Structures are given as structure tokens and as C-alpha cells.
Amino acid sequence: MSAAPEVPAHYHDGRSARRFEVTLQVEDGVAHVTGEGVQRSAPLASLRISEPMGAAPRLITFADGAFCEVRDHAALARLLAATGHRDRAHVRWQFAPRAVALAVIGVALLALGIWRFALPLAAQWVAPSIPEAVGQELSAQVLEVLDAHLLGPSALPEPRTRDLAARFAAMPASEGAQIPHRVLFRDGRRLGANAFALPDGSIVVTDQLLALAADDDQVMAVLGHELGHVQERHGLRLVLQGSMVALFMTWYVGDVSTLLAAAPTVLIQARYSRDMEREADAWAARWLRANGLSPLLLSGMLERLEAAHRRAASEGGETGYLDSHPASGDRIRALREIP
Amino acid sequence: MSAAASSDLEQAPADSVAAGEPLPLSFTGRGAEYFGIWIVNLLLTVLTLGIYSAWAKVRRLQYFYRNTSLAGSAFDYHGSPVAILKGRLLALALLVLYNVSTQFAPLFGAVVFLALAAVFPWLLVRSLRFRAWNTSWRGLRFGFDGTDAGGYRVFLLWPLLTAISFYLLGPFWHQRMAAYQRNHARLGATRFSFHGEVGPFYGIYIAAGLIFLGVLVVSGMVAVPVLRGLAGDGEGAFRATLGQMTVLPLAVLGLAMLFVWSFVSARLQNLMWNHTRLGEHRFESRVRPLRLFAIIGTNFLAIVLTLGLFQPFAAVRVARYRLESVRVIAAGSLEEFTAGAQQAVAATGEEAAEMFDVDLTL
């Protein structure tokens, strides 16, 4: 064995701020610290060797808390190499460019996978165990905001709305644990022809949608679609997924600002809806068939909504970024293919 | 011994300095290095659904502390990841409890709010103790021995007074908080003390308010004619103008807020350190608001453009500027600090300390 490498270091005894100039050596697995007024030896295995962190000194700590501060990284690396010391894997990764690049890709793929697959599954799994009171409170708040800012009272005569509601209520939903539902009629104002479901089973339909529908069967198809959202607990699942994404974004860019964190969260949420729309379509198709109606009623209604939408867009009117029924073309095709 | 090593050691400031000679804090962290730590931390944190974040925090703080040196010796962080994890779980539970209860049962929410307000100062005091005790320089631990009563005064009573006075007493609260934190802190057996009066705190907040108003008025005088000119093109230009009308004021507001924030945090750092003593040693902090604004502003842009990947570089830039703006005006040798009696006690009772100490700082 060649002469053991010597490493210059500062020794601190943990009792005062006094700094001792020492040299560190390792012979036969025993570390020796030698310098003016310091003479200590201990088995290398009993010392804690801090991980490398760039230019930062590495600390070699004795069991009693006294330690050597080493700034000569090259000399220490030679000494540690001679003793066979090896840093833990993830410590070596973080300073290896290739591993760092892989970690960047890994984070991106992982985040994408969790957001696209794991999170929706988790939300679907958790949603049924959320107490009903939560959904009711949430729905009441949302409806209050909508009524105050976006919707007006329905202009339809009361007997007409009562008949529609009664017909819908008389159509039994055949499957699954049932959430009781009710239909609310409103003037859509800027929202136009629209229908949406709240987690507590409230289904809101706008006068404009009733005017757009060819007949009451088509209205029933839309209500069935919204009932699908209710029974599949899409509202709660959206809230659960959204708050998890928000939590992650706040943590990820927490140092920057909460404003930055909120923006992507909103954009990301629009993406969830498409899978849910398909789920609700499928639910509505089964429900329509069980009640002796054709699933094509729903695709017919979707076509009408899309045409109205295009008309509004070409007239330079409000198209709305937060379209609650995206990718209608795909959905119409899917509904037609239902056997 | 290699030649490189010996010259390295000679460059390190000698610590048997003459009294009154300023000793700068030096920071050796580099963005590219910290990026590696940050991304591996991020990967492991996501893989473990957040559990690793406690270990990640320890490695992050160790990177920053060990790269910070005073008189040629580095600082170090000793926090236990398990204690931090406990603190985070507790904080998360409290956050969820608070949010859920206020959302869905306002009356119960009010009860929860009061309970949290009663517990929070107690937790913060423990958190301060944890943070101080787990920081060291030359093997001497820092310490914090503020009382719970003091904690309730600065974390409950003063915030209440501030709210009741419509924030007019805010600077008082800030000064009391600074005094509480620093007068009860020590390095080994040597105590820190704080000598800042309320006046300068008022000065900073009033100046910040005036700057904010000034920026808004000036930018309004510039922006309104510009917007009016754009809107004058008639209906065809309506959509483009609508975009500018919302984006431009938001950008101006954002810049103004960023500047005011830089101003306040630069001036506060200077105020705090210039009135802090450690035994007979003094500190001097010279953060320039405009320089800090330039760093933070460019950081913000770069973070947005890189979808967050610039964050570790940004953190290193800010840390370097803030730390290297501070100097210690030593009244004598820095070798004379000794460990307090408590260091020996706590070193043996460390496990008990970890049982009851939590770290709430996320």
C-alpha cells in the first residue's frame, strides 16, 4: 500500500468556535486527525461523511458531534477512493449531467402519468366516500353564484316546466346507487343553450336549450346525459382532482406566486371533462334505451348544439373558453356507434 | 498536501481578525449544481407522493447552509427529516380541517378557526426553536428560548391589534416580532439582541405605499392615452384592444407589486441586520432594492419561460445576493464563542426534542 493520502481540514470540537488546523488520514480503516493540540482516532466506519455538495465543504463527524470541515475536495476524493467509500446512488445522480437530464424527463413523464391516469382513478375511488353533505353544500354555493351572476329566472310558463320535470322524474334510472335528482329551469343569458349538473343531483336547464331542442325526447336525452354526470359523481371528482393539482402546483411554484399556480390548474381542468363527457354519454345511452328511447336522440341534440355554437361564433358573438361540452364531433360519432 | 489545497486555505479569511474589521458572508452555491439536487428531490418526492419532501427539504437546506461561510467556516443544517415530515402532516391536517370546515359547516368552521388561532402561536414557537437548534456554525448550535407567553403576544395579540387598527399598527407588530425572535436567539451561549425601534418600520411601509401609488398613477397616465389611441380604430380592432386592455394593466400592476415587494424585503433585511447584535459583534446589511428587483424580476420571467425549471437557479441567485450583502463587524475574535450549557443537555436529549419539536415552515 502506498503512503496514505493526507487531507487538510479544520477540526471543531463542538464546545467552542475555535478552529484547529489538522490533517486527516486513514490507515487500515482507522481515521486519524492530527494537528496543533488535536490527536484523535476513530474507525472510519464510525464516522459520518456528509454527501458532496459542489463547492460546499464536506463534514466528517465523530460520534460525539466533533467534526472535520474539509474544503480540499480533490484530496478527500483520493482518500475516500482509497478506502472504498461510495456515496449513495441518488447523491451521485444529482451531479451527473446524464442522470439529471433523465430525472427531468422522468419528472415530466411521471407528472403526466399521475395527472392523466392515477389522479382520475384515485378521485373515482374516493368520491363515493365523500359525505353527501359536502356535495350539497358545494352545490348550494355554486348555484348561488350562478343565480347571482350568470343565470336569470326561467321565462317558461310554469305548467310546461312542471310537465317536463314530471316526465323526467317518471323515467327510472336502472343502475347503480342512486343520488336523488331534481330539475331546475333558468334563463341562460350569456351561457345560451346549456345544461349542467351539480354534485347534489340538481340539473339546471336553460330556456334557450329547450327552444333549441326538436322535441321533448331530445330534452330528456340531455337531462339523461346530465344525470349521468350526477350518478358518476363527476362534479366531486373534478373538485378532488382540481384540488390535488392545485396543491401540487402551489408546492411546485410556491416561491413564485399563487397566481401562477392557479392559471395552469384552470387550464388542466378543462381537459378532465372530455373523459367524463364520454362516461356521461354512455350512461345516458343506457338510460335512454332502458326507458324505450333511442341514444341517437342525444347525438341529434349535440348536433343542434354544435350548429348553434358555430352560428354564434361566425356572428362574432361570445363563444366562451370554458365550453362545458367540448369535442362534440367525436361524441356524436361515438353515440352513433353504440350498438 | 497539494499546492492547490494550501492556497485555498490561505485565501480563507483568517479568524484572528482585528476588532471592527468586517467579515463578509460568502456563498459558493451554483445554480447548475443545485438544479441536480432540486430535480432529484422533485422526482423522489413525486414518486413517494410527497413523503420524500421532508428529506428533500433537509438536503436543500444543507446545500444552502454548507455553501454559506463566515470567516472561512460553513454553516450546517441538522434537521431530522422525520420531525419535518411530522410537522408537514400536522400542517396539512390543520389546513384540510380548516378549509373543509369553513367551506361546509361555517359554524363549526368558526370554532375550528378559534382553536387554530389558539394553537398556532404555540406551534410557531416550537418551529422557531427547531429551526434555530438545527442550525450550526463551527459546530456550535444556534438556539431559541422565547417563551410561549411572548409567542402569544407577537403571533396572536399583535395580529389582532393590527387588524383592529386597520393595519395602522402593522409596523409595531413587525418590530415586536423581530425583537421577540432575535432577543431570544443565541449562538452557543452568546445571545443575539435587537435594537431596532418602530420608526424605521413605519418608514419602510409608508415609503412602500407611496411608491406603489406613484407607480400606479404614472403608469395610468401613460397607459390611458395609449389604450384610447388603440381603441380609436373602431369596431374591427375591438378584440385586440380588449386583450391589451386587460393584459397591460395587469402587467403594470404585477411589475409594481414586484418592485414594492423587492423594496420592502431589501429594506427590511437591512433594517433587521443593521440593528442586530451577537454579543458585542454587529452586523451590516446593504441590500439595494433596485438590484434585488432586477434579480427577482428576471427570475420571474425566466421561471415562466422555462415552466419552472429555472427555479433552482433563481433560488441560488437570490440567496447569493442576499447573503453576500451581509457582513459581520466583529468586536473581537470569533473563536471565543462557546457552546451553551443547553447544548450538552439537548445533545443527549435530542430524541425528546424531536418528539415535541415540529417544523411548520413549508
The pLDDT score that the predictor gives to residue B156 is: 93
Q: Pseudo-torsion of CA B128, B133, B134, B139, nearest 10°?
A: 150
Average pLDDT over residues B58-63: 93
Query: Residue A56 is inside which H or E element, if any?
Result: none
Q: Where are the beta strands (DSSP E) in B183-330?
A: 185-187, 190-194, 276-278, 281-285, 326-329
Query: Does the beta carbon of A3 lie under 8 angstroms from any beta carbon of chain B?
Result: no
**C-alpha cell of residue B80:** 431530522
The pLDDT score that the predictor gives to residue B104 is: 67
Q: Which among A21, A67, A90 has CB closest to B139?
A: A67
In chain A, which residue's Cα lies nearest the Cα of B334? A17
Tell me the nearest-neighbour CA distance from B229 into chain A, angstroms: 23
Instruction: Test B72 with A100 for CB contact under 8 angstroms.
Output: no
The pLDDT score that the predictor gives to residue B245 is: 57
What is the average pLDDT value for chain A, to the nearest integer?
A: 82
Q: Pseudo-torsion of CA B83, B87, B92, B93, nearest 10°?
A: 100
Residue A34 or B89, more confident:
A34
Residues of A whose CB is below 8 A from B4 = 72, 74
Q: Which among A67, A94, A133 has CB closest to B40?
A: A94
Instruction: Test A8 with B37 for CB contact under 8 angstroms.
Output: no
In chain B, which residue's Cα lies nearest the Cα of A252? B308
- At position B281, the amino acid (one-letter code) is H
Give CA–CA dist B355/B361, Å, rounded.
17
Query: Does the beta carbon of B8 lie under 8 angstroms from any beta carbon of chain A?
Result: yes
- Residue A16: strand pairing partners: B338
Chain B segment 19-58 residues within 8 A of A by beta carbon are: 28-30, 33-37, 39-40, 42-44, 46-47, 53
Instruction: Test B339 with A15 for CB contact under 8 angstroms.
Output: yes
Query: Does the beta carbon of B301 lie under 8 angstroms from any beta carbon of chain A?
Result: no
Give CA–CA dist A41/A56, Å, rounded.
25
Q: Which of A111-120, B10-19, B201-210, B296-305 has the lowest mean pLDDT?
A: B10-19
Tell me the nearest-neighbour CA distance from B149 into chain A, angstroms: 31
Residues of A whose CB is below 8 A from B28 = 54-56
State pTM to two decimals: 0.78
Q: Which of A51-60, A253-262, B14-23, B154-163 has the lowest mean pLDDT?
A: A253-262
Chain A segment 136-195 residues within 8 A of B by beta carbon are: 137-138, 141
- Residues B146, B128 contacting (CB under 8 angstroms): yes
Residue A188: pLDDT band with limits 50, 70, 90:
confident
pLDDT in tens, A216-233: 999 999 999 989 888 888
Indicate if the pLDDT at residue B89 is higher than 70.
Answer: yes
The listed range with the strongest mean pLDDT (A69-83, A248-262, B39-53, B193-207) is B193-207
The pLDDT score that the predictor gives to residue A266 is: 47
Q: Which among B36, B139, B336 has CB closest to A100?
A: B36
Q: Which of A31-45, B2-16, B47-61 has the lowest mean pLDDT?
A: B2-16
Domain boundaries defined on chain A: 7-93, 113-337
> Is the reported ipTM for this assembly greater than 0.90?
no
Domain A7-93 architecture: Roll (2.30)
DSSP A186-222: EE-GGG-S-EEE-TTSEEEEEHHHHHHSSSHHHHHHH
The pLDDT score that the predictor gives to residue B46 is: 86
Chain A segment 15-34 residues within 8 A of B by beta carbon are: 15-19, 21, 23
Indicate if the pLDDT at residue B206 is higher than 90.
Answer: yes
In chain A, which residue's Cα lies nearest the Cα of B2? A75
What is the average pLDDT value for chain B, to the nearest integer?
A: 82
pLDDT in tens, B124-173: 888 888 888 889 999 999 998 899 999 999 999 999 999 999 999 999 99
Q: Which among B1, B66, B311 has CB closest to A53?
A: B66
Q: Which among A54, A114, A141 has CB closest to B30?
A: A54
How many contacts (CB atoms, under 8 Å) link A and B? Answer: 155
Residue A24 or A263, more confident:
A24
Handedness of CA B48, B51, B53, B55 (dihedral sign): negative
The pLDDT score that the predictor gives to residue B204 is: 96
